[in-house]
Amino acid sequence: MIDSNTAVTLSPSKNKLVKIGCNVHKFGGSSLATSACIERVVEIIRQHCQLNDIIVVSANGNTTDALFKLYQISVELQEVTLLNPEQARSAKEAKTLHRQLLETITTLETAQALLIDELLNASSAARLKSLLSDNIAQLSANLLSDPVSYENDLLAFGDFWSARLLSAVLSESVCPSYMLDAREFLLLKDEKNCAIDYSESEKGFSQRRQQDKLVIVTGYIARNKQQQTCTLGRNGSDYSATIMAALSGARNVTLWTDVDGIYSADPRVVPSARKLHRLPNAVANELGRLGNPVLHAKTLQPLTNHNTHLHVASSFAPDISGSEIGKFGQIAKQELSVTSLNDLILAKSTSFFAKSGELAVSEFAPICYNLDEGYIVVTQEQQKSVSQWLASHDTEVTFKPVAIIAIVGHGVAKQGDMRARFKRALKHQQTLHFLHSFNEHSYIAILPELCSSEVLNNVHADMTKDAKNIALVVAGLGNIGQRFLTMLPKQIARVSGLENVHLVGLVGASKALINTDGIDVANALEHYQQQAQQYDSEQLLAWLTSHPYDELIIVDITPSEAFSHLYQEFFARGIHVIGANKWAASSSTENYQQLISTAEKNKSIWLGNTTVGAGLPINSTIKELLNSGDQISEISGIFSGTLSWLFQYYDGVTPFSALLSDALSQGITEPDPREDLSGRDVQRKLLILARCAGFELSLADIDCQSLVPVALRDISLAEFLERTSELDEMFLSRLKQAQDKTCVIRYVARFISENDQVTAKVSLEELSENDAFAQLTPCDNVFQIKSDWYQDNALIIRGPGAGRDVTAGGIHADLVTICQQLNHRHQQVKIKGLN
């Protein structure tokens, strides 16, 4: 990050901002179109760049198009003037063209001058405008003398002005900066293919680098051996950026553009396309070759033998994580996309068979070809050169206009099921051929007609099922957490909504294992034991902020209040939470409301059905009653599995303390059983249910009777477990009192709302042996709900309310619910101009 104060004042040798590795950032024309855009770019540079990074820029907005228009007008003007200077008609035409030329030049100069005035202080603006008017004079002279010879020099002005302006703005407000005209060092050895002489260019670049200043390099332009200006073709600035990365050994190149990533299809045509967060190099290359609107065929070429990662991000939404291209593991290799190209030509000739066909392939680098059937598919622009090439071979050719649609993914052409699915998806569409690409990362259908948006949408839906990659992080690897993980492999294999769920994080109290490429679910705990590292919550949040998945779910199976304090941060990042932990849902009203509103704002889903009744569907039932228009007036019952188990078994013969240690070892109790005995666990559960039922309540509103004697409350857990026999006498006497009245003892929760008055309490009650709450299977919970719909005949939910299997199972049910909801959600594509 560049700090405007320190960057300018630090001496070169002490400049802490200079790091060893550098990164390249390229800003496209749309990102630099207006002064507001340029200010955004300046902010991105301030936030994301180091002084030794390299900035590559395109021309501002449509400047290159305007320059090209100028070129066309002047060529036309020259033709009119030279061909027929005497004729009256051409004299008039020439006058009109001359006027058009001058007007276009003025418009261009005015637009540039406006940017300068809006962005720079008066003296810098005056200096730049004077340079601009020199350039305009030179440009006008060239256009009027010999436009054809000066075509590239003319087109180069756009990137040149853009780099000069940005460097002036940065020097004025962020850090020392200088512009570098790529023609000074970037040498082409083969102009036709834009092939770079890397060793000469590298020498030239390092000679021109200035220490402790940020360099702004012109994109799109280079020079040839004759020192003439060359351009790098359409989207040449992306190519410039990756060339700069290759020359400087940069670790990362970021293409800042007007879309926030690479999508599984062109999102302007396929609204359900999803962002591909990570793409292996070879797949990205193939996508670029086959018509991806963001990646272009040449862009990745310079990085072939480098370990550089390429990122695509939006300068209009810099905080949204974009797409990353590089070397990745298995999960990134599962990404699949659909692409299409129209306006192609299928050329069929005897010269395209076997050996001579191979020559044609190396000459034209066709989109696809089949040398057994003697055809190649090229762009319409290539048709003329194909004809010329065949004329020299003395063979005939037939040309047919075609389009292609392709699925692109790692090794997709090798997968029979994918090929079959693709063919099925196109069964209503006329196709000419299906063929493998030479690198097996695409499978292509050649169509005799344009590939319509309807076809693209249908194939995309059939092939990708709009599936999202969902990352799963499990926090709390104790009693329930371990059981949840044991069940996970079977669930992922069994439930179709979970097929794109990837376990990427295991978080314990002090150590965490995060692996973006996925943790093997079958051996998750072993991996955790071997590889987990010490972490703190800041590190955890940093990772969670920039994860490469469509969605991320955290399952909180900790008993930790501290961990529940992170929920606010999770929701702020759009992360979804499944909590078995009761702290957040029973926190203060203010905190709880804030959590709900942050989650809503960021479309985070928060489920916690196991916080009450373990696997029993109690929270969800109450929510459904509300959704149906019902109003709840009473919730009561036995809400503690532990206390249910203890009081059902406790007959005064076996000491109460012996039963407690049994319950603890069965994983029914809270990690500290005093949470159960104090009534706090039941108090929290009653609060959670009352909130589910739409009541604004806090813990303080619920009377709670503790069964932990004062002497045992504030001691350590270990000491408490040593001294549990001190409980025995008290419980024996409570039992005897009840038995004397032919009653039993049960810990009961009661919430009643009557005439706008709410009473809520959790306490030990003496119940008649026939009471509905008295006769339960040990560990069962019972929930009795009275409402408008269930007034005289209460709704009863009953069953095991604690334990490893039911709780872990309940968390899995929440996981399936969240994944189903997420898989039906459409991703909002961020494209400037579209939203």
Ligand X SMILES: N[C@@H](CC=O)C(=O)O
Residues designated catalytic? 685
Q: Give the C-alpha separation, 329 to 327, whole Å.
A: 7
Binding partner of residue 518 among ligand NAI, ligand X, none, CB under 5 to 8 Å per kind? none
CA angle 195, 278, 490 (to 5 degrees): 150
Q: Does 668 bind ligand NAI (CB under 6 A)?
A: yes
**3-state SS string over 164-176?**
HHHHHHHHHHCCC
Q: How many CA atoms lie within 13 A of 477 on its CB side?
A: 20
Taking the least distance from each CB to ligand NAI, the nearer of 354 and 717 is 717
Nearest one of 735, 610, 721, 719 to 664, comparing CA atoms: 721
Residue 483 beta carbon to ligand NAI: minimum distance, rounded to whole angstroms: 8
Strands 323-326 and 309-314, bridge-based pairing: antiparallel
Q: Are 265 and 821 in contact (CB under 8 A)?
A: no
Taking the least distance from each CB to ligand NAI, the nearer of 64 and 807 is 807
Q: Report the residue from 283, 447, 507, 514 that binds ligand NAI according to the rule CB under 6 A.
A: 507
Give the list of residues 6+ apart from residue 435 with CB closer than 8 angstroms, or none.
Answer: 368, 370, 443, 444, 446
- The order of strands in the sheet holding 606-607 is 533-534, 511-514, 501-507, 470-475, 551-556, 576-579, 606-607
Taking the least distance from each CB to ligand X, the nearer of 248 and 669 is 669
DSSP state of 827: P
DSSP state of 826: P
Cβ neighbours, 10 Å, residue 758: 14
Q: Give the C-alpha separation, 560 to 508, whole Å.
A: 11
Nearest one of 717, 735, 724 to 662, comparing CA atoms: 724
Residue 623 beta carbon to ligand NAI: minimum distance, rounded to whole angstroms: 18
Taking the least distance from each CB to ligand NAI, the nearer of 267 and 481 is 481
Residue 419, both tokens? 């090929």
Task: Fill in the per-residue mask, 547 to 576: x = in contact with ligand NAI (CB under 6 A), - = not in contact.
Answer: ----------xxxx-xx-------------
Taking the least distance from each CB to ligand X, the nearer of 676 and 814 is 676
Q: Are 504 and 330 in contact (CB under 8 A)?
A: no
Q: Does 508 bind ligand NAI (CB under 6 A)?
A: yes
Q: What is the Rg, in whole angstroms, of the alpha carbon atoms belonging to the chain?
A: 35
Contacts of ligand NAI in 786-815 (CB under 6 A) = 802-803, 807
Taking the least distance from each CB to ligand NAI, the nearer of 351 and 609 is 609
Residue nearest to ligand X (CB): 642
Segment contacting ligand NAI (CB under 6 A): 254-262, 414-422, 506-514, 742-750?
506-514
Taking the least distance from each CB to ligand NAI, the nearer of 581 and 604 is 581
Q: Does 475 bind ligand NAI (CB under 6 A)?
A: yes
CA angle 512, 514, 520 (to 5 degrees): 110
**297 phi-psi bin (left φ>0, alpha ψ -120 to 50, beta other):** alpha
Residue 645 beta carbon to ligand X: minimum distance, rounded to whole angstroms: 8
Q: Report the residue from 67, 455, 471, 480 that binds ligand NAI according to the rule CB under 6 A.
A: 480
Residue 76, both tokens? 């036309």
Taking the least distance from each CB to ligand X, the nearer of 212 and 672 is 672
Residue 673 beta carbon to ligand X: minimum distance, rounded to whole angstroms: 8
- The order of strands in the sheet holding 795-800 is 703-704, 757-768, 743-754, 632-638, 780-787, 795-800
Name the amino acid, one letter, at 474.
V
Residue 670 beta carbon to ligand X: minimum distance, rounded to whole angstroms: 4
Residue 658 beta carbon to ligand X: minimum distance, rounded to whole angstroms: 17
Three-state SS at 224: coil
Binding partner of residue 181 among ligand NAI, ligand X, none, CB under 5 to 8 Å per kind? none
Residue 360, both tokens? 């044609």
Q: Does 778 bind ligand NAI (CB under 6 A)?
A: no
Binding partner of residue 655 among ligand NAI, ligand X, none, CB under 5 to 8 Å per kind? none
Taking the least distance from each CB to ligand X, the nearer of 407 and 682 is 682
Q: Give the C-alpha separation, 446 to 428, whole Å.
A: 14
Residue 668 beta carbon to ligand X: minimum distance, rounded to whole angstroms: 5
Residue 679 beta carbon to ligand X: minimum distance, rounded to whole angstroms: 12
Q: Give the C-alpha separation, 589 to 696, whole Å.
A: 7
Q: Give the C-alpha separation, 448 to 431, whole Å.
A: 7
Name the amino acid, one letter, at 65.
D
Give the list of residues 6+ apart from residue 138 with CB closer than 8 angstroms, or none.
Answer: none
Q: Report the residue from 476, 505, 548, 673 that binds ligand NAI according to the rule CB under 6 A.
A: 476
Segment contacting ligand NAI (CB under 6 A): 65-73, 469-477, 489-497, 726-734?
469-477
Binding partner of residue 477 among ligand NAI, ligand X, none, CB under 5 to 8 Å per kind? ligand NAI
Binding partner of residue 642 among ligand NAI, ligand X, none, CB under 5 to 8 Å per kind? ligand X
Q: Report the residue from 410, 582, 680, 750 that binds ligand NAI according to the rule CB under 6 A.
A: 582
Contacts of ligand NAI in 606-645 (CB under 6 A) = 610, 614, 641
What angle separates helix 88-119 from helix 122-145, to the nearest 10 degrees? 160
Q: Work out the burial of residue 37: count CB atoms within 10 Å of its CB; fewer than 13 is exposed, 13-18 middle, 19 or more buried.
A: buried
Nearest one of 275, 267, 260, 215 to 240, comparing CA atoms: 215
Taking the least distance from each CB to ligand NAI, the nearer of 323 and 678 is 678
Cite the beta strand spans of 566-631 per DSSP E: 576-579, 606-607
Residues near ligand NAI (CB under 6 A), total: 29
Binding partner of residue 480 among ligand NAI, ligand X, none, CB under 5 to 8 Å per kind? ligand NAI
Q: Report the residue from 286, 324, 670, 676 that binds ligand NAI according to the rule CB under 6 A.
A: 670
Binding partner of residue 58 among ligand NAI, ligand X, none, CB under 5 to 8 Å per kind? none
Taking the least distance from each CB to ligand NAI, the nearer of 326 and 559 is 559
Binding partner of residue 143 among ligand NAI, ligand X, none, CB under 5 to 8 Å per kind? none
Q: Is residue 529 within a helix (H) or strand (E), and if so which, with residue range?
A: helix 524-531
Residue nearest to ligand NAI (CB): 478
Residue 710 beta carbon to ligand NAI: minimum distance, rounded to whole angstroms: 24
Task: Fill in the per-residue mask, 48 to 87: x = in contact with ligand NAI (CB under 6 A), - = not in contact.
Answer: ----------------------------------------
Q: Give the C-alpha separation, 648 to 780, whole Å.
A: 9
Residue 508 beta carbon to ligand NAI: minimum distance, rounded to whole angstroms: 5
Positions in the binding site for ligand X (CB under 6 A): 614, 640-642, 668-670, 676, 681, 801-802
Give the interface with ligand NAI as residue ranges (CB under 6 A): 475-481, 507-509, 557-560, 562-563, 580-582, 610, 614, 641, 667-668, 670-671, 802-803, 807
